[in-house]
Amino acid sequence: MITPVILAGGSGTRLWPLSRKLYPKQFMQLVDDYTLLQNTLLRVSALAEVQPPIILCNEDHRFIVAEQMRQIGITPAAIVLEPVGRNTAPALAVAAIMAEARQKESTLLALPADHHIENTEGLLATVRKGAVYADRGHLVTFGIEPDAVETGYGYIRKGKSLEAEDAADTGPHAGVWTIDRFVEKPDRDTARRYVESGEYCWNSGMFMFKAGKLLEELESFAPDIVSGCRQAVEKGRTDLDFFRLDRQAFGRCPSDSIDYAVMERTQAGVMIALCSPWNDLGSWEALWQAGEKDTDQNVIHGDVCLQNVERSFIHASSRLVTAVGLIDHVVVETKDAVFVAPRHQVQQVKALVDQLTRMERPETVTQKLAYRPWGAYEDVDISERFLVKRITVKPKAKLSLQKHFHRAEHWVVVKGTALVTRGEEQFILKEDESTYIPLGTVHRLENPGKIPLELIEIQSGSYLAEDDVVRLDDVYGRHNDRDD
């Protein structure tokens, strides 16, 4: 049985300003009507004898993951919350420990949540071939035959061909090799030599192995990772739909990638070429490459009007974006930021985000639209003593029972029905009705209906930050010092 392990903990800074710390690219719809995370799971759901997936993510993203799984009708075996980032080796060790506890001899298919794979059948055929080698005791990585000189990827040098061993396989042809060595992201001249030699594949970050075999190899090469992860699982706890790893145990675990910790050292590693076009969508250039282009080779999203623009990527999120005379550029507009760069310099966005982070700019952390387990809210207007928000509450969802020390609130329902708790009273508000929550009054907002509740909230007071909240009851287990 194959258990998909989805690595969904990335920050996606290279796709700023769309991707933010609290809403990175794996949760976004970048190529079709599904998010990258949803597409990753939908692709592998077609495998025969596939087990429910294990998803590992940052605890700040837990409700986003749960909601996106609900939308596509997939119930994970576990949504594992990493209290701190420790790279892929500890993440996969945790998945292997949990999978082994559920079923001995589990085969893990480890996939990043943010890749774009065009040919699902090609992927599944490659995975089936990978399962054959995993059953033989190999640790499988999936390589990508390069079709361009790319400095943003790591490379893997092919070792001995295993085609003779693979002769009995009836699946589509895909090269199979032992692994000679892993190479970090090269400069352009080195990458060109790699591609021209035909001896290298791109490192996709996708793996397949028996859970027990992975743990055996980790015990040999990185025993501290295994012991730390075992403690983090043993001392972890279930919280609603999530499994929380023990913070102290996982925090003591060494941080390392599965490449460094195991794949570069093991004698059991093999590489199989992926039978599908692949893109990790790790930059605006990658999105231009993957996008549908118009007659001028532009990729356009949103309300855009262009004159004499060629080979450019233009993304409008909230307003009309116009451009004249651009060639080979990227323009990305969101409600609170605009990014402009030549296509050949888009990798510099990471340095730009680092600069903005040092300046403590909130635009690196969250978007105007902030997601919560009960729905979402968006800041519409703000001044020194007032803040206007648009709030959406999912059907049957409720906010925490809470109070504020520094602000009062007015609520105006514009769609749906609200059940309001205000002090000792409880009442219904319908469309075009409103209420007032005085400063210090205990209150709660619920949506008892079957359609989303939308309302306008006007806050007024001397302090309007999100940390002015005292939670008295919360069905999502949130603390007073957090607003997630």
CATH code of 408's domain: 2.60.120.10
Asked whether residue 397 falls in the same domain as residue 341, the answer is no
Query: What's the average model confidence in pLDDT over 315-328?
Result: 97
Domain final residue, candidates 279, 296, 315: 279
Confidence check: pLDDT of 337 > 60: yes
| Whether pTM exceeds 0.95 | no
What is the reported pLDDT for 169? 52
Count of other CB atoms within 10 angstroms of residue 319: 10
Asked whether residue 339 falls in the same domain as residue 233, the answer is no
Asked whether residue 45 falls in the same domain as residue 141, the answer is yes
What is the reported pLDDT for 482? 44
Contacts of 252-256 with C-beta under 8 Å, sequence gap 24+, read: 252/228, 253/86, 253/90, 253/224, 253/225, 253/228, 253/229, 254/86, 254/90, 254/222, 254/224, 254/225, 254/228, 255/85, 255/86, 255/87, 255/90, 256/86, 256/87, 256/89, 256/90, 256/222, 256/225
Domain final residue, candidates 229, 263, 279: 279
Domain final residue, candidates 357, 379, 409: 357
In a domain, 481, yes or no: no
pLDDT digits (tens, 9 = 90+) for 33-80: 899 999 999 999 988 789 999 999 998 899 899 989 999 999 999 999
In a domain, 480, yes or no: no
Query: What's the average model confidence in pLDDT over 250-278?
Result: 94
What is the reported pLDDT for 484? 42
In a domain, 220, yes or no: yes
In a domain, 484, yes or no: no
In a domain, 337, yes or no: yes
In a domain, 418, yes or no: yes
Band of pLDDT at residue 366, cut at 50, 70 and 90: confident
What is the helix, strand, coil percentage profile of the chain, to 5? Answer: 25, 35, 40
Asked whether residue 221 falls in the same domain as residue 85, the answer is yes
Asked whether residue 248 falls in the same domain as residue 288, the answer is no
Distance CA 231, CA 269 (A): 27
In a domain, 362, yes or no: no
In a domain, 296, yes or no: yes
Asked whether residue 30 falls in the same domain as residue 127, the answer is yes
Asked whether residue 381 falls in the same domain as residue 250, the answer is no
1 vs 75 pLDDT, higher one: 75
What is the reported pLDDT for 191? 94
Asked whether residue 88 falls in the same domain as residue 135, the answer is yes
Band of pLDDT at residue 481, cut at 50, 70 and 90: very low
CATH code assigned at 136: 3.90.550.10
Asked whether residue 159 falls in the same domain as residue 289, the answer is no
Residue 216, classed as helix, strand or coil, is helix
Domain total of the chain:
3
DSSP-derived letter for residue 203 is E
* Residue-number span of the structural domain to which 322 is assigned: 284-357
What is the reported pLDDT for 410? 97
Band of pLDDT at residue 483, cut at 50, 70 and 90: very low
Asked whether residue 146 falls in the same domain as residue 213, the answer is yes
Query: What's the average model confidence in pLDDT over 290-295?
Result: 93
Distance CA 251, CA 63 (A): 22
Asked whether residue 313 falls in the same domain as residue 331, the answer is yes
What is the reported pLDDT for 151? 83
Asked whether residue 9 falls in the same domain as residue 30, the answer is yes
